Structure 1
Amino acid sequence: MANHSENRCLRVLDYIHDHPAGDLSLDALADVAAMSRFHWHRVFRAITGETAAGAVRRIRLGLAATALVQTDTAIDRIARDVGYPNLASFRRAFKEAFLVTPAAFRQRGELRPFLIARPEVRLMFPVEIRNEPARRLAAMPHRGPYPEINRAFAKLGAVIGARGLYPQTGAMLGVYYDDPAAIAAADLRSHAGLEVGADTVLEPPLEQVLLAPGRHGVLTHTGPYAGLSAAYDQLYSLWLPQSGEEPADRPVFEIYRNTPQDTAPEDLITELCLPLK
């Protein structure tokens, strides 16, 4: 039986096929999917085995290949019809995909499907649905590769320590707004945060981040932080489709139950919290 995620991915794939020359940006396809921009690309990749950008490229070039073999339409017109107004960029993309130029492909007259490699993914960590409380964070923003958020945490710690606020802090969290498979590493947005009460005064450079209460799918990852990317893949590709749940329009966040300062890498405990509707 198809679930909500599958149906939305199928709707996006139909839309790409029907509008190859249209606006197929991530935001536009999220609207087609009627899914939160925070999560839909991860869901799409989990279901289909490819990124949205990869699907757009594959479908556009597949339509072009069919037109080259089955019609006499001029190559520049085919390029425009599938969303490549620049003929040179179309030729380059086509040759990268099919290893021959569009003209040579037409002359050969054969069609070959794209194959999507799907590595085996297994759910290695426990996941539970948990009601999380509302949280207020004292946070420092970070823009760039997620593994480099340590810089923001170091700055956060320095400010909190200098202002004598540590007695007012609780859990350490990271809030992540973008999918690293869809956004350039330099443009990824996140916050490094410490939970604080409503009465704690936050002044620049500290920023307030509010996390809404509600149901969350929580995957508990044990081990080095380098394994978190694979844990996210398991959460989105295995647990979410099987759960029948839908992500809410809020970012994922991580709760760090211990830190590398006093814990061996294999014993680090990180909770990946996916907001649910």
Structure 2
Amino acid sequence: MATSYEDRLLRVLEYIHDNPAGDLSLDELADVAAMSRFHWHRVFRAMTGETCAQAVRRVRLNHAAVWLVQTDRPLRRIAADVGYPSLSSFSRAFAASHGLTPGAFRTRGELMPPLLTAEKGGYPVYPIDIADHPARRLAAIAHRGPYAMIGKAFESLGAVFSSRNLWPHAGGMVGVYYDDPDAVDADDLRSLAGVVVDDAAPVAAPLEEVKLPAGRYAVMHYKGPYSGLAAAYKHMYGVWLPQSGEELGDHPPIEVYLNNPQDTAPDDLLTDVCVPVV
């Protein structure tokens, strides 16, 4: 029975992420879940910690934040693309969530280092140190596509952990990023949304077990919205690495997420960007 509810929850989360402009009313999501609307909301909140309305609003506004920074879509189109009937209602909701109007957020995004060339410089400086990491075991869900959209995989991961009561085995949220977004088409980028788990945690589909090797990492302690992480990587690879005397290791970089975007303002998010070195 738990698997049945887990499948329904995963189906609804996928539907929300794939249809931000669509009808995401409680009744519609209850239909997607194939469950009575009198009970669905209680089930969703108990399994995710959010109401359906909170989850829909968060996913829609996260999509909007990505499109504001990474595309030149007009604001009215973005508002429509994330299900808001007017620019004014979208602007109010976005400002309440992100602390800036959509236009101001776009302007700040355009001035952020991800859109500057190395020749122009201007990359931000974050603390970097070298640390020895132990081997880690992940329970993970694969994501293929733009890195900025990996939230969909993390949502599914969280739903599975809640459904199977795996959180007592958990030791932190981790993203693994296999490809260089400057060298691989966005739709083909490979990544994993993972949770560090102990050896006693059962890992079964849709989860997959991934082993991270022990080793030395250069760790950048980044604070700020996830949309600024591209700048952190550019500083790390383009400025810090050539001056450090370090050689890169032969496995992909990872990100360790130190707080929760569901209850943390974007500017207060803490992420350790970990690049393997030998």
TM-score bin (small chain): 0.5 to 0.7
Distance 1:118 1:142 in 2: 32
Query: Cα distance 1:203–1:227, how it changes in 2: closer, same or farther (>3 A)?
Result: same
In structure 1, the partner of 2:180 is: 179
CA deviations over 1:245-271 (Å, ceiling 9, x no partner): 011000000000001112111110000
CA deviations over 1:14-34 (Å, ceiling 9, x no partner): xxxxxxxxxxxxxxxxxxxxx
Shift of 1:117: 7.6
In structure 2, the partner of 1:221 is: 222
In structure 2, the partner of 1:127 is: 128
CA deviations over 1:126-171 (Å, ceiling 9, x no partner): 1000111111000000000001000000011111111111111111
In structure 2, the partner of 1:203 is: 204
Shift of 1:118: 1.5
For the 8 Å contact 2:224–2:269, the answer to whether it is kept is yes
CA deviations over 1:67-114 (Å, ceiling 9, x no partner): xxxxxxxxxxxxxxxxxxxxxxxxxxxxxxxxxxxxxxxxxxxxxxxx
Number of paired residues? 162
Amino acid corresponding to residue 155 of structure 1 in structure 2: S
Which one has more relative contact order, counting CA pairs under 8 Å at least 6 apart? Answer: 1
Structure 1 segments of 4 or more deviating over 3 A? none
Structure 2: stretches of 5+ with no match in the other structure? 1-116
Distance 1:179 1:276 in 2: 17
For the 8 Å contact 2:126–2:221, the answer to whether it is kept is yes
Amino acid corresponding to residue 135 of structure 1 in structure 2: R
For the 8 Å contact 2:225–2:268, the answer to whether it is kept is yes
2:195 aligned with 1:194: yes
Amino acid corresponding to residue 179 of structure 2 in structure 1: D
In structure 2, the partner of 1:154 is: 155
For the 8 Å contact 2:140–2:193, the answer to whether it is kept is yes
Distance 1:179 1:119 in 2: 21
In structure 2, the partner of 1:62 is: none
Distance 1:142 1:212 in 2: 21
In structure 2, the partner of 1:142 is: 143
CA deviations over 1:226-251 (Å, ceiling 9, x no partner): 11000000000111111100110000
Quote the sequence identity (%).
52
Shift of 1:119: 1.6
For the 8 Å contact 1:256–1:271, the answer to whether it is kept is yes
TM-score by length of 2: 0.57
Q: Superposition RMSD on alpha carbons, in Å?
A: 1.3
Larger Cα-atom Rg = 1
